[in-house]
Amino acid sequence: MSKALEVQLDVEKIRSDYPILSRKVNGQPLIYFDNAATSQTPNQVVEAIVTYYHQHNANIHRGVHALSQEATDLYEQARKTLQKHFNAAKDKEIIFTAGTTHGINLVASGFGSFLTADDEVVVSAMEHHSNIVPWQLVCEKTGAQLKVIPITEKGEWDLTELDTLITEKTKIVFVNHVSNALGTINPVEKLIQKAHDCGAAILLDGAQAAPHLQIDLQQLDVDFYTVSGHKMCGPTGIGMLYGKEDWLNKLPPYQGGGEMIDQVTFEKTTYAPLPQKFEAGTPNICGAIAFAKAIDYLNEIGLDKIAAYEHELLEYATSQLLAIEGLKIYGTSAYKAAVISFNIEGIHPYDLGTLIDKMGIAIRTGHHCAQPIMDFYRIPGTARASFAFYNTKEEVDIFVEAVKKAKSMLS
């Protein structure tokens, strides 16, 4: 980590926004390296939540009173904040969801209404379970075939047989932008072009990409894109589904209820226009407002600075860990987000993670909701350290020493 970059980012000032980073776990200062699962939430976002409930709490779109109008304005401004950040063409193409999984299921359910047994759905072997199971359910219901893009030993897509995987029968391609288990930044542009050449739609899981990369939806020309607020310094229970207007108009509503209707009679119901068509019931109003505040917070720091800083942490931690005898890293692509999945020969990752937790260090162990990846490598799981812009080189040093100590205790 260069001093110039550290000063430019002012990591110590950033860390002061996160009271949780000052607490102790098991008597040791907390080192939080589980950011791929959930990022921490800064004071600015917490304050936005408190302000909403103290000053503006009311249901939206339905009231003529002042609080309802204030809450509605804040909620819809949050939508515009996300539209601008992700460069969507229209704010009505931004659908608030409960998170990435919700967004995926919304699209899968919609496609389930018109897929047939002659159609094909394409995913990759690198997917999170939430990127696999919804499409399996749809294929079971419709008879459509699920096809899988394989991966290589380095943890990259094997695109050598792409022409036989994505064909005129393909109706939708669904892959992650960045792997949660391996950190690989995937060449999604190739798949977007291929899908469109074959007349298929493409949905990207951006849960792991959006915290680290500047996403330009119009430049990507993707049909659907999903993200989770809690991985971007926002609260849990809120996310975004982007969809091109034409596609969102084609899909049927995902849920029925208030807000998503135009006219209701016992003979026929007509639906509200976008985005309300997909936001049935009272939404997570405060969550959307806080998510937008988190986006503002990240932009104030600068995603380009965040990406550069996290990459230096990744390179530093990778070199330090690889110096440990018997340690193997899974996911060795040249293009990675700040994620390191590893094992030490002869040691179960759960045992390693448990010992490291006793030293105050939070990492993730297991299959990371990506069992097909673990099956590919013939392992039960990995230990995963994932970094954020509020982590430091000094924390990496402590972590590496903890791994060495745990290894000596478990060997």
Per-residue pLDDT band for 2 (boundaries 50, 70, 90) equals very low
Average confidence (pLDDT) over 214-239: 98
Contact 87, 219 (CB under 8 A): yes
Pair of tokens at residue 323: 């110096």
Average confidence (pLDDT) over 107-121: 95
Rounded Cα distance, 345 and 361, in Å = 21
Query: Furthest-apart CA pair in the chain: how many Å?
Result: 72
CATH no., domain 46-300: 3.40.640.10
Contact 343, 326 (CB under 8 A): no
Sign, Cα dihedral of 5, 7, 9, 12: positive
CATH no., domain 3-42+302-405: 3.90.1150.10
Q: What is the pLDDT of residues 197-208, one digit of tens each?
A: 999 999 999 999
CA distances in angstroms from 38 to 117, 140, 408, listed in the order given: 38, 32, 30
> What is the pLDDT at residue 5?
47
Pair of tokens at residue 154: 């380095």
Contact 135, 121 (CB under 8 A): yes
3-class secondary-structure state, position 214:
coil
Per-domain residue ranges of the chain: 3-42+302-405, 46-300
Rounded Cα distance, 22 and 24, in Å = 7
Active site residues: 369
Question: Which of 140, 97, 103, 145 is closest to 123 using CA atoms?
Answer: 145
CA distances in angstroms from 251 to 109, 181, 271, 378, listed in the order given: 9, 31, 12, 39
CA distances in angstroms from 228 to 205, 291, 297, listed in the order given: 10, 9, 16
- In our burial notation (b when 16+ CB lie closer than 10 A, e otherwise), range 257-271 reads eebbbeeeeeeeeeb
Rounded Cα distance, 284 and 53, in Å = 12
Question: Which of 96, 62, 91 is closest to 288 using CA atoms?
Answer: 96
Contact 104, 110 (CB under 8 A): no
β-bridge partners, 228: 239
Question: Which of 115, 306, 138, 129 is closest to 213 using CA atoms?
Answer: 306
User: What's this model's pTM, rounded to 2 decimal places?
Assistant: 0.94
Q: What is the pLDDT of residues 252-280, one digit of tens each?
A: 988 777 777 677 778 888 777 889 889 88
Q: At 184, phi and psi to the nearest 5?
A: -60, 130
Average confidence (pLDDT) over 374-379: 91
Strand pairing class (239-243; 201-205): unpaired
Judged on CB neighbours under 10 Å (0-12, 13-18, 19+), 249 is exposed
Average confidence (pLDDT) over 88-114: 96
Judged against a pLDDT cut of 70, whether residue 7 lies above it is answered with: no
Residues near 222 by Cβ (< 8 Å), separated by ≥ 6? 188, 192, 202, 203, 204, 242
Judged against a pLDDT cut of 70, whether residue 337 lies above it is answered with: yes
Domain 3-42+302-405 matches domain 46-300 at the CATH topology level: no
Rounded Cα distance, 344 and 327, in Å = 4
